[in-house]
Every structure is written in C-alpha cells, then in structure tokens.
Chain A
Amino acid sequence: MQMRYRRRRKRAAALILTVTLGLFGSACSTDDSGDDSAQEFTYWSMWQEKEPQAKVLAKALADFEKKSGIKVKVEWQGRDNVTKLLAALRTDDVPDLIDQQYFTVSNAIVKNDQFKDLSDVHNMEIPGENKTVRQVIPKKYDQFTTTADGAQFLIPYEVIGYSIWYNAKALPDVASNPPKTWQEFTDVLANSKASGRNPIALDGDIAGYAEFWTATALARTLGTGGFHKLVSDKQASGWDDANVRNALAAIANLAKQGYFIPGYDSSKFPAIQTKWAQNQADFLYMGSWAPTETDTLAAPGFEYRSFNFPTLGNDDSLPASVIGFAVPKSAGHAEAAQKFIAHFLHKERLSKISSEANNLTPRPDVEVPKQLADVNALLQEKNLSKITDGVLGDFSDFDKKVFQPLNLKLMTGKITPDEFIDQITTGQRDFWAGQGS
C-alpha cells in the first residue's frame, strides 16, 4: 500500500514537472527555423515609433524591402535597445542591426568584443549613387566609430554637435560677434547680468548636462584627451595642476557670479530649458537637439543660433557625438543588415534625417535645417572632440559616482576648486583601488 502510494506520488510529480518544464520550454523558445535567412533581418531601433527619426527610418526600411526583396523585422524599442541587446546576446534571439550613440554601443559591446567589424561596409557601394560609403562619410567621424586598433564598430547616420545656444532675435550683438574666448564670453555674461537678465540656463538635475560645462572647460585647457587622461590615472596625480585649477575656477566663477538662472539646482528637467526658450535666460550649452526639443514652447520669433564653447587655451574643437548602426557579432543575418546601412546612407534618404527629423547627418553634402546652420558650420570647419572628452562612455561608473556629484557641488558653489581637487583626487584613487580588487 505504502509502496504503491510512493510510486504513484513519484509518477504524479514527474508528470507535473514534465508538463511544467514543457510549458516553460515552449514559452521560452523562439522559432527561428526557416531557410529564408538571407532574405530577412531584425532591427532593434533606439527610436520609438512616433519619433521623427523612426518615421524616416520606417520609410527607408519599406523602400529597402521593396527594392531588395529582403524582409525587415523592426522593433521600435527606444533607448533601452542596447540594454535589451545585452540580455539577448546570451540567447539565440539576437537582432541583426541596432543603432545608438557611439559611446552606448562601445560601452556595451565593444570592450567585450561582441560587435561585428563593419570595415567592409566602407567599401560597399550606395545603391543608386555610384559612391562607396567611405566616400560619403568623412574620416573625421572615425574617432567615434572605430576601436583603438582600427575596427569599425559603428557606421554613423546622425551627428550631434554641442554648442552654446541663444536667441539671435533677443541678442543681436552676440549674433553679430559671438564670443570666442572665455574672457569674451564672461564679458557677455557680466553684461547680461548687469542688464537684469539671467545669463545661463542649466537643468542641474541632469548631472550629465552640468558635466558638459566642466568637462569641456577641462578639455579646452588641457587639450583634447586631456580630461580623459586625467581620469584614467590611477594615482589621480594630474588634478593638482595650475591649468586644471584655472579651468575649474572658470566654472566655479559662473556660480559665484550668479550667472546661472535661479532654481537651476532645484528644478525638474525640462523646466529650466523651457525658461531659456521663453527668453528667461540667455544661453544654453546643449546638443544640436536643442531646437527640436524646445521649439513647441519657444517664445514667438525665437531665432536659434549657437556658437562654439569658448576657448580656455588652444583647443577650439567642437564637442560632438554620433549615432549610428552597429551589428552584433552573433547576428545571423549581418549581410542583409549591412545592405540596409548602405541603402540608408543614400543622400536622398539620409537627408530626411535633416529635413524631417531636424538633425545633422555625417554627409557634408546634405542640406541642414536653418536653426542648425551655425553648429553645422562648426562641424565642417573645426576638429571634433568627444563630448565629455569620452569620459562618460569610457569611465561611466567613475563619472556618475565620483565626478558628477562633485561637479554639481562645484557648480552650485558648495565647494571651491581647491576642495574639488582634494576630493576628486581622493575619490579617484579610491575608485581605482576598488577596481583593482
């Protein structure tokens, strides 16, 4: 009796386990079988379906499907697409094409060698244009899209330039003679303050936006790559330096002089940016998305102009970033995805990123929207440098835990440049010591 009961119990347990695991198995597996693999690819987009870039891409994808016969499975995932990719890389369900800012891609799949080298795409001909990809994408963007040993992990299709924005209608003197040096810039700020206006808008609750100021000031003083080098030093020995102190003092002085709009340290984004668009502050240091992000709330007749971050030494490069396509190493249909990249870079299609989504593209022959003319001129004329000198991408953990909090204290006048130097030196040494364990 007892034996029978046990046996029956075992049978029941085995049955339930089998059924349960079976259900799991069928729920978790995806059916990727089928031999038409060359004729399709999957694209996980960083855009959400209603964003202008998504609309441009959707049209290009439809056109590509028609012309090539290759079917595209697109998922408009939004900015989390790379995080989701990271999880997917451990499964068989890997997308063949993704897009993101260069540092997001490099941070997620370059260091660990999970990307496909897209150097071949440079040699691909853009269908219908008799030009190769290399011929239309200038080499100045390679610093964003290649690894130290020259592998191509990204093909850019949108460019972001970071400049200081203002309303030319309200500030005609600035428009006719934009400040070039830090001294000229602070003269303009002092003038603005004396006239009873708020000189600078900053949404201080976004630590990354506050960081743009200090990081650029440091890169200006130390030269491109100087801030990056400072942070990568495990002994943190470079901070106690006259040039560094000078750059930090320049930034601290903005707070000391009361140049930031009141409430910049205690508002919720985008409150301050909106105030700037409504002429309540004069300047906003922001990426080239600033006009599109603020135009619905901008004061009537707002005329978007911008100038390069002023010099604090010899460097006058334009801080920039790029958004582009990447292909994961384990993608099953990489070839089809690469065909689409070449297809999208056709002048006619790519120019819609400019004309419909109001953003800059890497192709110099694409006409730019009027409000981006200044930043585009800088993009063509100047050398480019990475925004935050590449620190945000390469040392993200240090950046958010050590640099950004201290920077916010500096920019709200809570610590002096000397205190900043002391604290970051200790913080950086401790950080690197913790990394070595």
Chain B
Amino acid sequence: MTLATPPAGEPRRWRGSPRSTGAFDRSRRRLFLPFVVPALVLYLAFVIGPTLAALWISFHRWDGISEMRWNGLGNYSALFGDPTFLTALVNTLIILVVAGAAIFAISFVLTMIVREMRGRSFIRSVLFFPHIVSAIVLSIVWGFIFEHNGTVNTILSKMFGAEPIPWLNSDNLFSMILIGTVWISTGLYVTIILAAVDRIPRYFYEDALLAGANAYQRLRFVTLPLSWDVISVAAIFWTISSLKIFEFIYAFGGTTNDLPPPAVWNSALFVYGESFGGRSPSYLFGYASASAILMLVLFTVLIVVLRRLLRRDSIEF
C-alpha cells in the first residue's frame, strides 16, 4: 500500500516528442489544423469576439442603436458609486462564499452518509433530481410553497397554530434565494464528489476504522486527500457557475414582466436589469457591459487565486 506521486516538473505531453518523425506522427500533425480551426473559429466568433466587443462597448455610452459615445472609464467609476451595483456585487460574493460553503459542507456530509448506505444509486438519483429540473420550474414551485398562504405556512399554522411567516418579503427574499440555490446545486456536487470517493479503495477506510478513526477523521485523512483533485475542480466549477446564476433569482424574485427587487440582484441580473430587463428597460448597454467586464476580471482573479490555493500534488493510489 504505497502512495506514489509522479515526479514534479515533468509536464505530460499530448503530442509525440518533437523528434519523432514517424508516418503516424506526421499524419497526426496534418490533422491538427482541420480539427482545431473549426472549434477555434466558433470560439473566436461566439466567445472571444463578444467579450472583446463588450470590453469596447464598456468604454462608451450606448443605447443599442445610436452611435456610441466615448465615455472612457466613466461607466466603471459610476459603477463604484452605484449602490445597486455594489449590492449586486456583494450578493454575488455571498452566493459564491456562503452558498458555496453550504453546498460543499452538505455534499461532504451526504457523501459520507450515502457512501455507506444501501440503495446508494437510488439516493444519488434523488439528490441529483433538483439539478435536472429547470430552475424556472423550481422557482415557481418554491413560490407556491413559501408564499403567504403557501404550503409551508399552511402546515405550520395547522400543526402549531403559527402566524404566517413572510418568507418572501424583502427582508427574507435573499436568504430564501440562497437556500434555493443550495438546494438546487447540492445534488450535482454530491454526485461529483461521490464519484471521486467511489474510486477510493475500501481498504483505506477499513484501515482507518481499525485505527480507530471517527467519521471526521476518515473525511480529513482519507476522503479529502484522495479525492482532492476532483474537489478542487468542483470548487472551480462552483465559482464559475455561481457567477452565472440567473434564472432562479429572476423567476423566484420577479414576475413575467418584472425584475426581482434590486436588493436581491446578483451581477448577472444587474447586467440584464441595466440592458433589456423590466417593463421599461434601461438600455444602458455601455454600463451593463462595464459591470460584466468587472465581474469577469474579478472572477478570473478569484479563480487563479483559488487554483493556487487548491493546488496539491496529486496522489496516485
């Protein structure tokens, strides 16, 4: 039972050595461009191009139709004085950190429980289910469940004679959005982490049990180190997904024609709210683009930092 780490500083090569000049390598090199170019063209056209366009637009005032008017860094400085943007920024970070911490904590607990249970695959499917259903549908269902005369208040009233709790009022709405986000996302991360944990040979756990390790110690000394690569990828994945959360907040906090109250906007809703959203849209495309670019930069930095923090030598077993 040895844990071996590959020698550091020797990146894996995906192509053959430059010196190899066999017929196979030559034909493989010839195929390189035909395979890469279409994807590259699409990527340039639909990702890099629009991102650069957004960057350019963010330096202007633009209503989408008229000529763009140069505004330099005006949109960016206005953003830092805009309480709605600052709220959206804070909300985005709260979703990232608080909801993220909850998702991973619950995922680990569930992983530990589910790992040892019978009917594991069934439970896994049940846990995964909220992630499959459209966030719009879930938000509508949550609306019915938590509104003033909704299911939860009805049950509380019948069981305890409790006064209805205003789950969806302006004080509680963002907390409900956080809980909803955790509920929707946890199943996915349980599934990912469970898949990683399943790879760990049972004898590590048996050994730990014999050594008298409790559940926390098994998590700390067996599960975490042996599934770290997957967990770090999942953490990056959550960071990226949390920035893009949109439809649950939009449908849960708003209505067909109306945006949710600005107090619960995250950065994605801010971009929508300043461009196309609402009964009477603002059409501030320069301003919305500036906010999107700022968030892109912030999250790029966050992801780089996170990758450094999570970097460990991978353990082979």
Q: List A residues at the B interface (Cβ < 8 Å).
A: 5, 8-9, 12-13, 16-17, 20-21, 24, 79, 83, 86-87, 89-90, 103-104, 107-109, 111-114, 205-208, 262-263, 265-269, 271, 392-393, 396-397, 399-401, 404-405, 408-409, 412, 414, 427, 430, 433-435, 437
| One of B89-97, B211-219, B279-287 at the interface | B279-287
Contacts of A393 in B (CB 8 A): 280
Q: Among B148, B149, B170, B257, which residue has its beta carbon within 8 angstroms of that of A412?
A: B170
Interchain CB contact (< 8 A) of B282 among A5, A396, A414: A396
Chain A's nearest CB lies how many Å from the CB of B144? 7
- Closest CB of chain A to B123's CB: distance in Å? 31
Other-chain contact of A268, B81, B168, B278 (Cβ < 8 Å): B168
What's the minimum C-beta distance from A408 to chain B, rounded to whole angstroms?
6
Q: Is B229 interfacial (CB-CB < 8 Å)?
A: no
Chain B contributes a number of interface residues (CB within 8 A of A) equal to: 52
Q: Which B residues touch A397, using CB under 8 A?
A: 274, 282, 284
Distance A59 CA – B149 CA, assembled complex (angstroms): 42
Instruction: Select B147's contact among A111, A206, A266, A392, beta carbons within 8 Å.
Output: A266
- Contact across chains for A271 and B149 when beta carbons are under 8 A apart: yes
Docked Cα-Cα span, A90 to B75, in Å, equals 23
Within the complex, what minimum Cβ distance (angstroms) separates A423 from chain B? 10
Q: Which of B149, B273, B283 contacts A108 (CB 8 A)?
A: B283
Chain A residue with minimal CB distance to B258?
A: A206
Tell whether, in the assembled complex, residue B37 and residue A268 are in contact, meaning their CB atoms are under 8 Å apart.
no
Closest to B77 in A: A437
Among A12, A86, A87, A109, contact of B33 (Cβ-Cβ < 8 Å): A12
**A24 engages B45 (CB within 8 Å):** yes
Q: Is the CB of B261 within 8 A of A405?
A: yes
A-B contact pairs, 18 of them (CB 8 A): A20-B41, A20-B42, A86-B65, A104-B279, A112-B63, A206-B255, A266-B164, A266-B168, A269-B255, A392-B280, A396-B279, A396-B281, A401-B84, A404-B261, A412-B170, A427-B83, A430-B82, A437-B71
Which of B65, B147, B148 lies at the interface centre, i.e. has the most chain A CB atoms within 10 A of its CB?
B65
In Å, the complex CA distance between A113 and B67 comes to: 12
Which residues of the other chain, A, contact B273 by a CB distance below 8 angstroms?
400-401
CB distance from A405 to the nearest CB of B (A): 6
| CB-contact partner of A9 in B33, B38, B144, under 8 A | B33
**B148 and A271 within 8 A (CB):** yes
CA distance A8 to B282 in the complex (A): 51
6 additional contacts, CB 8 Å, given A21-B41, A104-B280, A205-B255?
A12-B34, A24-B45, A208-B258, A262-B148, A267-B168, A396-B281
Give the Cβ gap from B27 to chain A, nearest Cβ, in Å.
11
Return B286 CB to nearest CB of chain A, in Å. Answer: 11
Which residues of B have CB within 8 Å of A400? 259, 262, 273, 278, 280, 282
**Which residues of the other chain, B, contact A87 by a CB distance below 8 angstroms?**
64
B179 adjacent to chain A (CB < 8 Å): no
Cα of A262 to Cα of B42 in the assembled complex, Å: 54
Contact for B169 among A86, A104, A266, A430, CB less than 8 A: A266
Q: Is A103 within 8 A of B280, CB to CB?
A: yes
Please give, as numbers and ranges, the residues of chain A lying within 8 Å of B37 by CB-CB distance: 13, 16-17, 20
When distances are taken between beta carbons in the complex, the residues of chain A under 8 Å from B245 are none
